[in-house]
Amino acid sequence: MRNGNSTESGVNPNVSVDCVIFGFDGEKLKVLLIDRGQIIEDEDEKSYALPGNLIHNDENLDEAAGRVLNELTGLHDIYLEQFGSFGDPNRLTKEEDSLWLKSIRAQPDARVITVAYYSLIRADQFELHASSFAKEAFWHDIEALPNLGFDHREIIDSALKELKFKSKYQPLGFELLPEKFTLGQLQKLYEAILNTELDKRNFRRKILKMSFLVPLKEKQIGVPHKPARYFTFDKEKYQNYKSNDFYFTL
Amino acid sequence: MRNGNSTESGVNPNVSVDCVIFGFDGEKLKVLLIDRGQIIEDEDEKSYALPGNLIHNDENLDEAAGRVLNELTGLHDIYLEQFGSFGDPNRLTKEEDSLWLKSIRAQPDARVITVAYYSLIRADQFELHASSFAKEAFWHDIEALPNLGFDHREIIDSALKELKFKSKYQPLGFELLPEKFTLGQLQKLYEAILNTELDKRNFRRKILKMSFLVPLKEKQIGVPHKPARYFTFDKEKYQNYKSNDFYFTL
């Protein structure tokens, strides 16, 4: 039998959480998907979705999001930010989704409203371990996404919009770049998020206004081009900047 | 008998919507509250809350928010923006709240997760008509709020934070000021939202960078001080600016 909710008590049949975990690997933006292990006729076809599940009645929404993400993907202690709830009455009624729910839920026909969370982490610094109903947890390029269950494509689009918006007004990168990095690496991060090429000169002019960017004396060595200077983040200034809702404009 | 949900079918017992309607009256920021008409021992004491109620199973979340707001306050066709969901397992368990739920709900002990919406409108240009379980709908100063049911104080604080954040990055005011207005009036609006005095010179320098602000030839007449110039919004530019997620910084 699948390890689902069918036999669990204390599960709220009407409310779930879903997690959009974006991952940056130094080059590209990815999103964390699970193979929900659906038995479908064409065995080559897989059934993908965001990590998500019903909430328990004794946990709050943030706790539910952390637990569900951990149960399905092995990730833990990830900062998750709530960005929206999705409640179209028909969001679960596609045939494939409906069959899957019947295999896993005690009340497969219940209407479920989902509260969605997102995060942005290094794609290559966390180990993934799929369990529960997830057969696999893996990173997928944000472009050319496969067919996804439920309204998960819409949820990813919405999270991406939020991430782009936030990246324009709040600093990011501290957790996503090595201890010392070049402005070229920082630009790559912004380009991956905004999905657009940025003008190098403009980018540098604006980004260097951020007082938490500290130039180091050290430069790259052994590179075939003119060596670039390394920078680092002043952690204290960076945290102040973030928590005070200061902003800059790109 | 109260006009509640006890006899209604098709109501989802676990999900509600709540509406934080901010109102600007030209001077101050207010929030729309209802008197939920609770019978309490001290008859002088009233029982206030945000307009909110359970969702129907055949409507999406946005529709539910519009319907509930209309049913309780008479407001209709208000643009509502979802900003967060609140799901502490104990959010309904205060004694007063629990008693009220027993008088109005078919499943008063069900855990309810609420999806919260906000809006900012003119406080003096909409007629209010309380009905359903609301005995009264009225504007209250955002400062010195009375005791509120459930976690509604927290929901208002969260909406206010969102409004302040958005006001720094997106233009507002078009719907809240007269057709022609002075920069002093516009500054008052920002001061009411940010709950702080702004430096006049700085404010003007920054606000005039917004290309949708159009100076008119006309000035105030019959005022005891130096007459101020009137401005108006270029509606088309304003809408473009909003929909393109352009931004300015205050």
Q: For residues A91 and B15, what is the distance between their CA atoms, to the nearest angstrom? A: 16
Q: What is the CATH number of domain A170-243?
A: 1.10.10.10
B161-197 burial, b at 16+ Cβ within 10 Å, e below that, comes to ebbeebbbbebbbeebbeeebbbebbbbbbbbbeeee
Å between A226 CA and nearest CA of chain B? 36
pLDDT-based confidence at residue A173 (cuts at 50, 70, 90): confident
On whether the CB atoms of residues B134 and B35 are closer than 8 A, the answer is yes
Q: Is the pLDDT of residue A2 over 60?
A: no
Q: Is the pLDDT of residue B5 over 80?
A: no
Q: Under 8 Å CB-to-CB from B97, ≥6 apart: which residues? A: B149, B150
Q: What pLDDT does residue B156 have? A: 98
Nearest CA in chain A to B162: A245
pTM for the predicted model, two decimal places: 0.90
Q: Is the pLDDT of residue A161 over 60?
A: yes
- Which of these ranges, A29-43, A171-185, A227-241, has the smallest mean pLDDT? A29-43
| CB pair distance less than 8 Å for B247 and A84 | no
On whether the CB atoms of residues A131 and A71 are closer than 8 A, the answer is yes
Q: Coil, strand, or helix at residue B49? A: strand
pLDDT tens-digit readout, B88-139: 999 999 998 999 999 999 999 999 999 999 999 999 889 999 999 999 999 9
* Phi, psi angles (nearest 5°) of residue B22: -85, 145
| CB pair distance less than 8 Å for A87 and B247 | no
CATH 3.90.79.10 fits domain A11-168: yes
Intervals of CATH 3.90.79.10 along chain B: 11-167
Intervals of CATH 1.10.10.10 along chain A: 170-243
Helix axes A183-194, A152-169, angle to 10 degrees: 140
pLDDT-based confidence at residue B216 (cuts at 50, 70, 90): very high
Fold of the B11-167 domain: Nucleoside Triphosphate Pyrophosphohydrolase (3.90.79)
Q: Which of B112, B113, B161, B168 to mutate to test the interface with A (most CBs of A within 10 A)?
A: B113
| CB pair distance less than 8 Å for B87 and A245 | no
pLDDT tens-digit readout, A128-145: 999 999 999 999 999 989
Beta strands in A124-228 (DSSP E): 136-141, 213-219
Q: For residues B139 and B18, what is the distance between their CA atoms, to the nearest angstrom? A: 16
Q: For residues B182 and B186, what is the distance between their CA atoms, to the nearest angstrom? A: 7
Intervals of CATH 3.90.79.10 along chain A: 11-168
Q: What pLDDT does residue A3 have? A: 39
CB atoms under 10 Å from CB of B116, counted, come to 28
Q: Is the pLDDT of residue A222 over 50?
A: yes
Nearest CA in chain B to A88: B60
Q: For residues A164 and B124, what is the distance between their CA atoms, to the nearest angstrom? A: 36
Q: Is the pLDDT of residue B164 over 70?
A: yes
* Phi, psi angles (nearest 5°) of residue B161: -65, -45
Q: For residues B160 and B194, what is the distance between their CA atoms, to the nearest angstrom? A: 9
Nearest CA in chain A to B81: A84
| CB pair distance less than 8 Å for B85 and A89 | no
Q: What pLDDT does residue A167 have? A: 83
Q: For residues A107 and B187, what is the distance between their CA atoms, to the nearest angstrom? A: 54
| CB pair distance less than 8 Å for A84 and B82 | yes
Per CB-CB distance under 8 Å, the chain A contacts of B86 are 61
Q: For residues B66 and B61, what is the distance between their CA atoms, to the nearest angstrom? A: 9
ipTM confidence = 0.88
Q: Which residues pair with A153 in a beta bridge?
A: none
Residue where the block lists tokens 């900003």:
B83
Q: For residues A67 and A215, what is the distance between their CA atoms, to the nearest angstrom? A: 39
Q: What is the mean pLDDT of residues B31-41?
A: 83
| CB pair distance less than 8 Å for B89 and A115 | no
